[in-house]
Structure 1
Amino acid sequence: MADPGDSPQTPSYGAVDHDREETGIARRRTGLHRGLGSRQVSMIAIGGTIGTGLFLGTGKSLAEGGPASMLLAYALVGTIVYLTLLLLGEMATQYPVAGSFSAYTSRFFSPSYAFAISWNYWLNDAVSVASDLTAAQLVLQFWTAEYTWVVSLVFWVFLVSMNAAHVKAYGELEYWLSFLKVASIIAFIISGVFLNIHADIGFSNWSIPGAPFVGGFGGFARVFVTASFAYGGTESLGITAGETKNPSKNMPRVVKFVFWRILLFYVLSILVIGLNVPWNYPNLSNRTTTTSPFTIVFEQAGLSFAASFMNTVILTSVLSAGNHALFAGTRVLYGLSVANPPQAPALFSWTTTGGVPLPALLLTSSVSVLCFGTSFIGSGALWGWLQNIVGVSNQIAWLSIGLASWRFRKAWIRQGRSLSELKFHTSWTWPYGPAFVIVAVSILIVVQGWSSILPKFSAVDFLSFYIEIPIVVMMYLGWRLLKRQPATDCLPSSSDPLLRLRGNHTDTDRESRRYIWLWDLVDLQAVDLNSDQYDDEDEDKPDERQHTRNSGLWRRVYHYLA
């Protein structure tokens, strides 16, 4: 039997013709490979989230919102993301396809909306790479302010080279970089607690003028987008599902355990930062620079060597986060190109013999040229704007996962399927889980730009908070105009709750088509629930756990911690 990793992994909403010729030249498309094990997928989830948002974003959050606002906002957004991850994990385990949540949105909610959020998420990942390369310049300013753009150029070349190799090379690099970050964060938490007790700091930084809620409601709301930027990356677990070995076993394991580790790291790290670093610390966050609280804590303790070491770790975390964003963006663009109908040029479906979508990689990495705008804008200001754009885009992705999950569950039940047939599900998330995610994220998107309007309107800040919304709306409408003829499986049944909100227009074909053109909703009764389900092959079943059973004690301990 052929290795499932050698077959193309296409989105759930269509097949692809692999014999098609492009511009008269037959291009070989080998498809993506299932080369990531549970050990690597777990670390990818951690590495994609523990990055510049935690190491640098917390400095910006502390300066703008204060210690209490930062702790509450990160905890609330973390709760939202945890629920979102459970909803996504349910669909990704059942249908482990390339394209992530956009494939599920197209299949169960709206193809046109899926088109819009797919391109928006690709832009999110591409801008994230630029943001991480900009962050590298901020981190380098700890040692020197001269020629900081060089580190961005070196990192860009390295990231493109690594992502052009086999997916196993990406997974192994991400694993070791993430392992270094996790170990450093644990050391930081222990050192921060010791410093707070030894120096008798306690909660004194919570009672200085302006604290603990800096900037009132506006400052509190502003932290949400920074927290969303920091937690961004967890949703890309759905992207790695298309290249994960034995997804029906590995994906639930990752979903259940990885996020709790991330949440623990974030909450404890933020608490330690808020206790030890005052919100008005010099150069914590301004137009030209942003200083990591992780290095400030060691500097305050007089441990300059430890501060330099931590800054080096932060620099590697920037590399890891950029590596993760470039990988995810490349796979999103690949998923768009193999959709049916295609939603991106067929060129981007071409893969190397190692399963790497090289044209998609090159286009995604090209957006990183934005990072060189620091000479004109200032590293701190540019990174802040890019961070806002990525944070809002992450929120739109979580909103889309909530919508797709809500429609998926309703389709599953409406077609008489038992929940016990699902490979992975959590009963307590239904029916309130999707609703909570949809409502909570919608509120965050609306209110977090409060400080850009009041007390003084800032056009640049306002655009960074809200420009994603008109982009998604315009792309949605544009795709609707291009695809006037609705697909038959988009015809809503008379029992559809969204149809009843507008009245029953299914009496005539003309009225049905008018409804579909306006709303583009998938019919839950007709949607295919069987395609793209992954059946575990014999060669999939052994994994790293079996190896640890036959290894020594130190290998078992190492594997558990990793």
Structure 2
Amino acid sequence: MGKLVLAIGLLFYTFITMVGGNPQHDAFGFRNFKGTDNAFPTYIGSGASAFWAAYLKAIFTEVAPEYLGMVAGEAENPRKVMPRAFRSIIYRLSIFYCLGALSVGIVLKHDDPTLVAAITNGAAGANVSPYVISMQNLKIKVLPHIVNALCITSSFSAGNSYMYCSSRSLFALAKRGLAPKLFTYTTWNGVPIAALVLAFCFSCLSLLQLGSTASTALDWMVNLCTGAQVINYFMMMITYLCFYRACKAQGVDRFKMPLQSWCTKLQPWPAIISLFLTGVIIMFLGTSAFIPTFDVNSFLYYYLMAFVDIGLFIFWKLLKRTKFVDPAEADLTSDLQAIDEHEVVYYNKLASKQKSDDTRWGKILDWLL
């Protein structure tokens, strides 16, 4: 809720200040976009490369849709809840991410002295926030502190998501025999405690920012995660195409599944196009490593995860001598019976709960939550 308030609040802040609702009474509008250099500043010789460099940084924040797939494993009523969550994700991405990116360019110029000094000195957090810097430039009081507080809660929320997904991924790998069995150990209520501890240990790498080379450490982490995330989407497209082939080979009707969208009828072309586009992004992730001269550190920034993934794949194939799965023999039905039985129990409990909560106060709580 804190992130939602922050995202919506900053969009309103941008609109109100750009039309003159600020202590300076300066209706700056789209001033920062006027002129070729302002809209697309020169970077490595061209404005297009500046756009690409900014896009690569933005990829780091684009994760979220794939997290829903992990949550589905522990959702109480996945067949009803998950389709609703997946359908709404595109609207949240469009509204908050696209408008948020536009707002950043509206409120602050790319070469603002305060912003440049903060980045040059390796500052982090709200110190390099375009919104906070713009508020300080406009002599707005109190509001920067509120934004800082909400940013802290948002960071905690993001860390919580990463901790959840990394521990569940490791747990799932261990359950399938692809990671040490130790990570299948859970507490009495199902929390994979061993995997959680390892995920927490990795989070301690964030303390590298406290050193004098904070920006270097942060760049390494951000770029490695960016490479991993793009590869993740690339592999998701491959996984879907294998699933599509298996459904076709086994005569499974995809249109009877709970989650449907407008592009379901167009498949597999949307998945093929997405596979191509993510492949292009991976290929050009490290463009800056070759311009103007080749830089090994920058090259490893972006491509290390690709080499690690290829190496792990080859190592596992050679070690276990596993074979590629025939679409006609792919397992598409495991655990379906267990889910059906769970739904019967769940709806019986829900029916009895609704009877006990059939009061005005119970209805109010149901509406709110």
Q: TM-score range by the shorter chain?
A: 0.7 to 0.9
1:230 alignment partner in structure 2: 61
Alignment match, 1:471? 308
Letter in 2 for 1:182: L
Q: Which moved more, 1:453-462 or 1:303-312?
A: 453-462
Alignment partners' CA distance in 2, 1:210 and 1:181: 32
Over the aligned positions, Cα root-mean-square deviation in angstroms equals: 2.4
Report the Cα distance in structure 2 between the residues aligned to 1:315 and 1:398, rounded to whole angstroms. 28
User: In the alignment, what sits opposite 2:198?
Assistant: 363
Contact 1:206 1:275 in 2 (8 A): yes
Pairs within 5 Å for 1:374-413: 374-376=209-211, 378-413=213-248
Question: Pick from 201, 218, 227: which aligns with 2:28?
Answer: 201
Q: Which moved more, 1:256-265 or 1:386-395?
A: 256-265
Deviation (angstroms), 1:271: 1.5
User: 1:255 deviation in Å?
Assistant: 0.3
Distance 2:297 2:358 in 1: 53
Helix, strand or coil: the match of 1:405? Answer: helix
Alpha carbons of structure 1 residues 550 and 434: separation in structure 2 relative to 1, 3 Å: farther
Would you say the 8 A contact 1:219–1:451 is kept in 2?
A: no
Of residues 40, 45, 52 in structure 2, which corresponds to 1:213?
A: 40
* Paired AA for residue 540 in structure 1: Y
Counterpart among 276, 281, 285 of residue 444 in structure 1: 281
SS class of match (2:97): helix
Structure number with higher relative contact order (C-alpha < 8 Å, ≥ 6 residues apart) = 1
Which digits, 9 at most, give the CA deviation of each residue in 1:203-224, with x for residues without a partner? 1111267321122232222223
Q: Per-residue deviation at 1:315? A: 1.3
* Native 8 Å contact 1:350 1:359 kept in 2: yes
2:254 matches 1:419: yes
| Distance across 1 between alignment mates of 2:333 and 2:295 | 50
Q: 1:283 to 1:469 in 2, by over 3 A?
A: farther
Q: Do residues 526 (structure 1) and 336 (structure 2) align?
A: no
Match of 2:335, as an amino acid?
D
Correspondence for 1:104? none
Counterpart position of 1:239 = 70
Q: Work out whether residues 108 and 131 of structure 2, in 8 Å CA contact, stay in contact via their aligned partners in 1.
A: no
Unpaired segments of 5 or more residues in structure 1?
A: 1-178, 487-519
Could you tell me which of 352, 362, 374 is aligned with 2:187?
352
Corresponding position of 1:326: 163
Give the 3-state SS of the residue equivalent to 1:525 in structure 2: helix
SS of 2:113 mapped into structure 1: coil
Q: Deviations over 1:371-419 (max 9, x none)?
A: 2323445323322221111111111111111111111111101112222
Deviation string 1:186-239 (CA, Å, 9 cap, x unpaired) is 111112101000121111111267321122232222223222210113211111
Provide closer, same or farther for how the CA distance between residues 279 and 218 of structure 1 changes in structure 2, counting only shifts above 3 A: same
Deviation string, structure 1 residues 283-313 (Cα, Å, up to 9, x no partner):
4333512401231232233222100110111
Q: What's the TM-score once normalised by structure 2's chain length?
A: 0.86
2:2 matched to 1:180?
Answer: yes
| Comparing 549-558 and 189-198, the one that deviates more | 549-558
Question: Retained in 1: the 8 A contact 2:234–2:279?
Answer: yes
**1:311 counterpart = 2:148:** yes
TM, length-normalised to structure 1: 0.58
State the aligned residue count.
344
SS of structure 1 residue aligned to 2:292: coil
Residue 343 of structure 2 aligns with an amino acid whose one-letter code is: E
Report the Cα offset of residue 557 of structure 1.
Answer: 7.1
Percentage of identical aligned residues: 26
State the AA in 2 paired with 1:210: D
- Residue pair 2:175, 2:181 contacting (<8 A) in 1 also: yes
